[in-house]
Each structure stands twice: as structure tokens, then as C-alpha cells.
Amino acid sequence: MPTHQPIKPLRYRQIHLDFHTSEHIPGIGAEFDAADFVATLKAAHVDSITIFAKCHHGWSYYPTTIGFPHPQLARPDLMGEMVKACAAADIETPIYITVQWDERSARERPEWRLVSADRGSIHNAPVSDVSDLKQLSPLWHTICLNHKEYRDYVLAQAREVAQRYPTQGLFFDIVGTWGCVCSQCLKSMEAKGLDPELASDRLINDEAVNEQFRQEISTALFAEFPGLRVFYNVGHIHKQGKQRFSTYTHLELESLPTGGWGYDHFPSSARYAAPMGFDFLGQTGKFHTSWGEFGGFKQPQALEYEVMQMASLGAKCLVGDQLHANGAINHDTYKSIAPAYARLEQMEPFLRGAKQISDIAILAAEHFHPGTSRNHASDDGAAQMLLELKRPFDVLDGFSDFSPYRLIILPDDVPVGPELRTKLEAYRSKGGKLLLSGRSGLDPAGKILALDLGIIRQDQQVGYTPSYIRMTDHGLDASLPEAPFIAYGTAETVSLAGAVGFGEILPPYFQRSYKHFSSHQHAPDNPAAKPLGVVATEFNGIGYIAYPIFSMYHGGGQPLYKYLVRGLLARLVPDQAFTTDLPSGGRATVTYQADQDRHVLHLLYGAPQVRGKGIPSLDGSVRQMEMIEDVPALGPVTATVRLKSKPRRVYDAASGQDIAYSTGADGGVTLTVPSLHIHRAVVIDGGA
């Protein structure tokens, strides 16, 4: 494992300056003006900017002797000019090096190309068409890292950059798992006894190949360049345990809300990164859509919301931009970034060293089902619910420490093997509570319950999808109706064996088919039918919901599913860390700065709307566009934060103005802010 000396903390106000430029464009960097470049960054309150050594086209932007200078480069050392100018203005310049997308290398050395089991060597060609014609598509051809000559090439250029330029770190982009079955990977899998026809075995091989690459790079760089930051990017921080990131100095959470990640992705990723103890930053973009968009501008209010959400969740902040091929910085872009970064700079004293207050944790289903490019749907659904319910949470993997949390959620499909069972039972023995749903809690074979939930599970799932939930006389949550409501998911069939039950699962008259159907969607509930099982249970501090309720909520957004969870949470962990009357679209967090003995309550509102319904992607698919344009002011907004003692003072972080508050017998400090526009931070001195 590579060792590394301590590094300086990341800065808060960063830019990632994409610069992927074709050899068919003349005059690359011809209009770069160092003075204007720096003045524009300073006016936008930027204190760090990632600049390019080598781009996806395979070209370099400095006089390299290892790589290949861009053939149309108008300034021999464009990157060096940027480094020098920024250094004089105290702006950091981490440097970007592409890895697996290097179009020049793929063209000149085709034997290095990745061969995917289902997509050839084109990383995002549609699965339905992998013919040779796709080799002519305008898409990146991916390089396989199971070729030592290419790994050595990347390392040599990284060393060259770090030797020549006073950079704070290197950003290695595109180090992913693509299911490679090139001849070299087939040999590796055969040697390890892996089956290349199994996606799970291809993933194991990809991870091993990539880890070898990361170990080689980090070991060499850490030995030669003490204090250098190193990060490897693939667009998502996979929940594989902290040891997976031993070659990293920090984390960067690529998560452009309008670029395909959506507004639900970042909070879940941030709440996973923070408990691992890494210094980390969030990445959003200035683009209306995503990377590679010229002439696209996100609204300043959206950027302010996204930046302050990152900061409130413990992240440093980064906005992605793309430099024009001529090298001229876009002033309008930085005018749109400036308001967000001005506010962030004002908030920095209340962000440094702050730790999130979380009494609930989500044990990520993604950890147990690796191989996806984004969060597991059930994890996102659980995070979405907790955000809307204002229940502070972290996200854990199977290696994490469970002890700091009052309750752990196992969303929908978390298998419990012997090791996890022992860990959960130890957690339970010290008073920890659990909430499970769907198939969570079953042994890895999916046959029997590994934990005592006070229920009996039948071998077969409920035979109707959808089915109906009836909550008559349940007393669980006042917002749940007594009339049956539709459940768009397949429930487990369970009956009570000591647990307290809530609600019944009712069937429709029949499952819709060509033989018998009624109305436009599904048959109504059958009042005369025998219930198919219990909906929810509680037993010795363990709650259970028979449906995959979190992925159902993520898919359909039915508030009644959330109210069902809310009712169980209220029974299991009744004394919340804080409460607020913000609407469900609002966000709230509480952090604690130990060195200052102060809590900071962050209140945010900037609910996104679906505006675009057919954004095209390179692979021919389309997606919806969530966006924020004009954010209304709310107010007054009231919140109660539970503390151990009376605070010394409560005040607004931006203005320093005192805020009146009252204290309750239970330790709650109740305060009201008269208005909220996008973000408000309230400082509570003392009370820990």
C-alpha cells in the first residue's frame, strides 16, 4: 500500500477547466490572455482551478517529451502559462491527465483498446448495435489498463508534469470497469480461475487491473513528490470500503445534477464520503446539460443552491467549465459562478472542520451489489426520503463502524451473511435500532431470515404486482389513509410471530392479463379477499416493511410510501436531532465545529423542476432535465435543534445579527428566521 505525507486541505472554491480539443481545430490557445484569465477567476472568487496536461483526444498542452503536443497548439506551453499566472495570484492549479480515453493512443496502438463483452471497444455504443460500423462513431475508444506499456506511459507523463510544474496534485480521469475481454484480460481471468462469460467475474478482473494501475502510479508519485494530491476519477465513488481508496489523497464527487446524475445523487455520495474521513469536494457544472456543452449556461441561483448544498454536507466545492479551443476565458460563465462563490467565501469560517450530525445511517445496497455506474435505486430512495423528512443520515458500507448511529436502514435488498449478522447483533446488543425492507435481512441465498424480526416469511412473494396497502386503525402515521392505496412493488409474504403488525396487504380482483383486465391499469382491491400478509412490523427495536419501499419511492415518488417509513422512524428513533417546518423540497443539516464549540444549522430551498423531457445523449437515449431557475423566498422558517445545554448565543452567519430563541425542557433550542432565499446558516454557540 502506498504511503503518503500529510497534504494541505483542499480549497473551497474550485473550477475544473475541461479542454478536450480536436486536432482538426486550428489556433489552439491563440487567444489566451494570462492577465485576463486570472482577473476573471479572482473576480469570481475562485481559489483553485484544474487545468489540462493531456486530454481525451490524446494531445498535451505543454512541451512534453513523453506525450504528444497538440499539433495545432498556438502557444508551446499553454499549461505552463496558466500555472505561472495562477501561482502569482495564489490560485492553486491541480493538473489533469486522461487515462482510459486517449483517442490518439487508441488510434495508433489499437492492441491497447479495451474489448467489452457487449459493446466492442466503444464505451457507450448501444447494446443493440455493436457492429463494426460503430467503430466509425464519434465516441471515445477506451484503453485497457492491462497493458504495462500503456501504464508506464501514463506514469512517465505524470512524473514529467510533477517535475516540471509546481502543481498541488494530479487528477487522473477515466479509470473505470468496462467488462474487458481483450486477449490480455482473458489471460488474466484464466490465470485467476475467473469465467469471462460472467459479468461478476469480469468486474473482479477489471478491479484488479485498475488497482494495479493505481498502486503503481501512487507508489511512484508519493515516493518522489511528498505532499502531492492524487485522485482517480470514474464519475462515481463506489461503495466498496475505505481500503478501496488507499491510493487516493482525497475524493472528488462528480455529480452534475443537470448532467445525468440528477439532484438526488450528490447527497447520498457526500454522506458516504464524509464518515470515511476523507477531505472531499463535490463537482457540479456551469453547463445547462453536461460536460462538452459549449454555449450552455446554468442559472446563477441554481449554482448558488448546488454550491451551498455541497458545503452544508461537508464538501469543498467545484464547478465544471470548458475552455474554448482558442483559449479565451468566458466572462459570462464566471459572472454566473461569482454569486455562489462569494457566498461560499463568506461562509468558510463556519464550514472548516465541521462534522455532520447524523443519528441514522443507510447501509448501502450498492455495497452488496457492485457493478453499477451510479447509486443503487433503493439507496437513493432511502436518501431521498430522509432528506425530505429532515432526518440527518450517513451512508455506510459493510466495513463501516455502526456504533455512532441510533438506527441503521437496510434498504430493500441487503443480504445478511454470517459476518454482517454478527456485526448487526453486536450493534443491536448496545441499543442500536434497525429498519429493513423488502428482501433485506435474508441470507445470501435469499431463502431464510438471518435476523429475528418476530415474523414468519413464506417461501413465495405476494403473487400480485401491484397490490394494495390497507392501514385501518394502525396508529402509525396520521397522513396514511384508511382506504386501500396502491403499492407498485412486489411484497414479501410475512405473518406475525411476536412482532407488532401494521396494515394488511390486499390483492386486486386479478392480475391484469389478456385473459382478464379492468379499466386502464389494474383491477381494484378485492374487499372480500383474505389479506395476503402484513405490511409493516416492529419487534425489539427492529422495524420491517414487506415491500421494497425505498426503490418504489425512488421510482414513483408516492408520498404515502414516505409516510409509512416516517411512522416507523417515529417509533424507533422518536427524538430527532432537529426538526423544521421547511417544505419537503427544502433541505436542512446541522454540523458541529468542535474547535469552536458551535453548531451550524443550514437551511436550503431550491426545489428543481422537470423542464426538459428529451435531452439527447451520445448513445441515442434521452433523459429528463431537472433544473432550477428562479427560487422563491420562503419565510418565516422555524427549526428546533436538540442540544445538551443552553447555548451562549444564536446568530445569522452572514450578517452576524442575533436571532431570538427559546429552550425546552428536552434540550430543544427553537428559533425562527424571518426569511429564506436559497440558503441560510444559523450559528448556535455552545450547547454541546
> Cell numbers at residue 487, please?
403499492
The arithmetic mean of pLDDT across residues 612-618, rounded, is 77
pLDDT tens-place string over residues 403-441: 999 999 999 999 999 999 999 999 999 999 999 999 999
Q: Say if CB 93 and CB 84 are below 8 A apart.
A: no
Q: What pLDDT score does 130 carry?
A: 39
Size (the chain), residues: 688
pLDDT score of 362 more than 60: yes
Q: Say if CB 67 and CB 99 are below 8 A apart.
A: no
pLDDT tens-place string over residues 124-136: 444 434 334 466 7
What is the C-alpha separation between 547 and 469, in angstroms, rounded? 10
Q: Which amino acid is at 619?
A: D
pLDDT score of 342 more than 90: yes
Residue 355: in which H helix or E strand, if any? strand 355-356
> Prior bond to 370 cis, omega within 30?
no
Residue 388: in which H helix or E strand, if any? helix 377-389
Burial 649-673 (b: 16+ CB within 10 A, else e): ebbebeeeeebebeeeeeebbebeb
Q: Say if CB 605 and CB 582 are below 8 A apart.
A: yes
Q: Parallel, antiparallel, or unpaired for β 668-673 and 661-663?
A: antiparallel
Q: What is the DSSP string of 73-116?
A: BSSTTHHHHHHHHHHHTT-B--EEEE-SB-HHHHHH-GGGB--B
pLDDT band at 30 (very low <50, low <70, confident <90, very high): very high
The arithmetic mean of pLDDT across residues 554-569, rounded, is 96
pLDDT tens-place string over residues 265-310: 999 999 999 999 999 999 999 999 999 999 999 999 999 999 999 9
Residue, of 375 and 46, whose pLDDT is higher: 46
pLDDT tens-place string over residues 243-272: 999 999 999 999 999 998 999 899 999 999
pLDDT tens-place string over residues 516-546: 888 989 988 889 999 999 999 999 999 999 9
Number of H helices and E strands in the chain, helices first, is 14, 30
